[in-house]
């Protein structure tokens, strides 16, 4: 009976996603020119036909991305493995047993909301930042949905203070979406996807100040609405690698991930909105 309920729910969510795709791609083109321009600049060797195919694939993924938080939030735990599975959890267990806190560097890639199921993979606490919404009822409902697997959700405005001041007896995993665009044009940049890209170094700064282990989350989409998460070690000693080294390793890993399945990154976000100004430095100046 549970399997039947899962299949019916999956059919319903996918039907809704198909409708959303028609709206976003056909009826009300949502930032389609921005997506096209971003992809063309990041993949200069791809043909116009290939770029347009990638754009279409992206909007199909974006439509799925709208419904997937509700899918993962409502799925029975017995069916969770049909939506997400994890590889190399032994790495996480080993680092935590060694009393290391972990900064897990995730990205706007795949379905990052699925990562809120991570507490089911470990006995240690998982902390994640969230952006509160103004409607009190909706905010409470979203917190309940996102926290159903046990993640400790912290408002973004309190994230640095809470993570830097974390003094629990046992180690914890600090989940960060590390490819955020910095406010204004930022101070530091690197080359990413063939473009000069300003970056936020907050995740690396937390890792260095607390001397955390740093782990990259590699994501593969196995089939529609189903993702494979793999943990890859960047460093077990953040202070030794330094902020610049962490950021360079992270963005190189993310670039490799994007090139494997380009349509899964958040291309409709205006990631390259800001431009150069005086006083900016390459990330290796951190």
232 assigned to some structural domain: yes
- How does residue 191 score in pLDDT terms, banded at 50, 70 and 90? very high
Expressed as residue numbers, the domain containing 220 is 82-285
Tell me whether residue 138 is in a domain: yes
Q: Is residue 180 part of a domain?
A: yes
Taking residues 214-219, what's their average pLDDT?
98
Strands (E), the chain: 84-87, 102-106, 125-130, 152-155, 172-177, 188-192, 195-199, 213-223, 226-235, 281-282
Residue 226 lies inside a defined structural domain of this protein:
yes
**Residue 43 within a domain:** no
pLDDT computed for residue 278 by the predictor: 47
pLDDT averaged over every residue in the chain? 91
| 41-68: average pLDDT | 97
d(CA 120, CA 215): 18
Residue entry with tokens 């180690």: 171
pLDDT at residue 276 tops 90: no
1 domain residue, yes or no: no
In a domain, 52, yes or no: no
Q: What is the pLDDT of residue 167?
A: 82
Question: Counting Cβ atoms within 10 Å, is residue 219 exposed (0-12), middle (13-18) or buried (19+)?
Answer: buried
Residue 103 lies in a domain: yes
Length of the chain: 286
Q: Is the pLDDT of residue 264 over 90?
A: yes
pLDDT at position 285, please? 53
Decide which of 184 and 210 is more confident.
Answer: 210
> What is the total count of domains within the chain?
1
């Amino acid at each position: 009976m549970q399997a039947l309920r899962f299949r019916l729910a999956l059919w319903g969510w996918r039907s809704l996603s198909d409708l959303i795709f028609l709206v976003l791609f056909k009826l009300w083109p949502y930032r389609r020119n921005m997506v096209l321009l971003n992809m063309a600049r990041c993949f200069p060797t791809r043909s116009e036909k290939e770029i347009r195919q990638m754009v279409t694939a992206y909007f199909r993924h974006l439509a799925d991305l709208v419904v997937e938080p509700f899918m993962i939030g409502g799925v029975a735990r017995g069916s969770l493995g049909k939506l997400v599975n994890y590889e190399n959890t032994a790495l996480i267990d080993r680092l935590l047993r060694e009393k290391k806190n972990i900064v897990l560097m995730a990205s706007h890639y795949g379905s990052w909301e699925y990562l809120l199921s991570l507490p089911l993979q470990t006995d240690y606490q998982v902390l994640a930042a969230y952006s509160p919404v103004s409607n009190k009822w909706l905010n409470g409902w979203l917190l309940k949905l996102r926290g159903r697997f046990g993640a400790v959700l912290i408002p973004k405005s309190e994230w640095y203070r809470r993570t830097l001041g974390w003094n629990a007896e046992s180690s914890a995993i600090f989940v960060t979406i590390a490819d955020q665009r910095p406010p204004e044009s930022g101070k530091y940049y690197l080359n990413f996807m063939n473009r000069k890209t300003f970056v936020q170094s907050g995740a690396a700064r937390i890792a260095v100040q607390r001397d955390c282990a740093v782990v990259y989350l590699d994501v593969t989409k196995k089939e529609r609405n189903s993702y494979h998460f793999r943990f890859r070690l960047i460093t077990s000693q953040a202070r030794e690698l330094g902020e610049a080294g962490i950021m360079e390793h992270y963005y190189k890993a993310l670039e490799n991930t994007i090139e494997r399945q380009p349509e899964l990154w958040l291309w409709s976000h205006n990631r390259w909105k800001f431009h150069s100004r005086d006083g900016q430095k390459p990330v290796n100046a951190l």
